[in-house]
């Protein structure tokens, strides 16, 4: 019998992971001191805010980063320093917060993310690329499904270590907070849905991650028939930090045509 709580326990298998949020928050705060458009409203809920960071000169397009935290933790303030990667290549980075569970069900969270992307697109011309990590990986993959509206300028999505089949979460303790039922889990699972025509996707995961996260990434890539990249040497957290590093393989994949 599978222990699904253990299968999704990313933090418990990464030494020092409890110290990461404080480091991210400090690095992000230092980056925000250099400038940015902070707390742009995209809705009426308290967490319906996004930050925009712009490169010098004319922008090549817009990258939107959707954070993780199993839909119930963290916010945009932890990730501002990730702008270093996209800005180095001339792209704007937008980072939204969204209402967390249990206040919001996952269907509402997905709707808020879509609205945040649309608001960011009103501020930045050019093509749009979406990248999300963990729960955020699920959310950007959900944006690329064929059954929902999405700005036509979205060219590509890169879900990083995403959860793409939500049904196993029904058997976890976290579902006490998420409140998923079987119908909602199926309806919101990208691995059970078709990809939108014309939107490119690359599934990305750290090679040293929990087997379930590797499996989830492989399943989506097989269903959607898109590339699946196992990033060597990376765990669940170090893999997404590569977005901040100019010249990283992750950043290059996100921005290449």
Residue range 121-143: mean pLDDT, rounded: 97
Mean pLDDT, all residues of the chain = 96
* φ, ψ of residue 220 in degrees (nearest 5): -65, -40
Q: Give the pLDDT confidence score for residue 44 in this predicted structure.
A: 97
Residue 77, CB-side half-sphere exposure with 13 Å CA sphere: 11
Residue range 163-187: mean pLDDT, rounded: 97
Sign of the CA dihedral running 20, 23, 25, 27: negative
Q: Give the pLDDT confidence score for residue 153 in this predicted structure.
A: 93
Residue 1 reports pLDDT greater than 90: no
Distances (CA, A) of 74 to 21, 158, 226: 9, 20, 29
Residue 244 reports pLDDT greater than 90: yes
Could you tell me if 129 and 65 are in contact, meaning their C-beta atoms sit under 8 angstroms apart?
A: no
Residue range 75-98: mean pLDDT, rounded: 98
Paired with 51 in beta bridges are: 95
Higher pLDDT, residue 221 or 147? 221
Q: Give the pLDDT confidence score for residue 114 in this predicted structure.
A: 97
Could you tell me if 134 and 69 are in contact, meaning their C-beta atoms sit under 8 angstroms apart?
A: yes
pLDDT in tens, 223-238: 999 999 999 999 999 9
pLDDT in tens, 3-35: 999 999 999 999 999 999 999 999 999 999 999
Using DSSP, state whether 212 is helix, strand or coil. Answer: helix
Q: Give the pLDDT confidence score for residue 148 in this predicted structure.
A: 78
Helix (H) or strand (E) holding 201: strand 200-201
Residue 149 reports pLDDT greater than 80: no
Segments in the chain forming alpha helices (H)? 4-7, 20-32, 84-88, 106-123, 135-143, 175-178, 182-187, 211-224, 238-241, 249-255
Residue range 162-186: mean pLDDT, rounded: 97
Whether pTM > 0.85 for this model: the answer is yes
Q: Give the pLDDT confidence score for residue 152 in this predicted structure.
A: 84
Share of the chain above pLDDT 70, in %: 100
Tokens read off for 251: 């950043």
Distances (CA, A) of 63 to 101, 120, 191, 208: 25, 9, 23, 26
* φ, ψ of residue 41 in degrees (nearest 5): -75, 135
Using DSSP, state whether 68 is helix, strand or coil. Answer: coil
Residue range 151-174: mean pLDDT, rounded: 96
Q: Name residue, tokens 């040497």.
A: 233
């Amino acid at each position: 019998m599978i222990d699904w709580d253990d299968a999704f326990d990313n933090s418990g298998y990464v030494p020092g992971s409890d110290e990461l949020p404080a480091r991210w928050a400090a690095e992000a705060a230092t980056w925000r001191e250099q400038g940015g458009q902070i707390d742009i409203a995209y809705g009426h809920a308290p967490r319906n805010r996004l930050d925009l960071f712009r490169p010098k000169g004319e922008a090549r397009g817009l990258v939107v980063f959707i954070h993780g935290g199993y839909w119930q933790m963290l916010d945009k303030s932890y990730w501002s320093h990730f702008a270093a990667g996209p800005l180095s290549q001339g792209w704007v980075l937008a980072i939204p917060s969204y209402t967390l569970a249990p206040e919001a069900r996952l269907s509402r969270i997905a709707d808020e993310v879509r609205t945040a992307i649309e608001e960011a697109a009103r501020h930045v011309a050019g093509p749009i690329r979406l990248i999300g990590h963990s729960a955020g990986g699920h959310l950007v993959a959900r944006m690329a499904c064929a059954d929902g509206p999405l700005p036509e300028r979205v060219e590509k999505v890169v879900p990083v270590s995403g959860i793409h089949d939500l049904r196993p979460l029904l058997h976890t303790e976290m579902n006490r907070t998420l409140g998923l039922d079987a119908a909602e889990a199926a309806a919101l699972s990208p691995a059970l849905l078709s990809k939108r025509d014309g939107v490119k996707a690359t599934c990305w995961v750290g090679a040293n991650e929990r087997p379930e996260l590797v499996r989830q990434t492989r399943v989506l890539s097989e269903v959607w028939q898109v590339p699946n990249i196992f990033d060597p040497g990376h765990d669940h957290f170090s893999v997404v930090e590569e977005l901040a590093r100019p010249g990283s393989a992750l950043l290059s994949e996100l921005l290449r045509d």
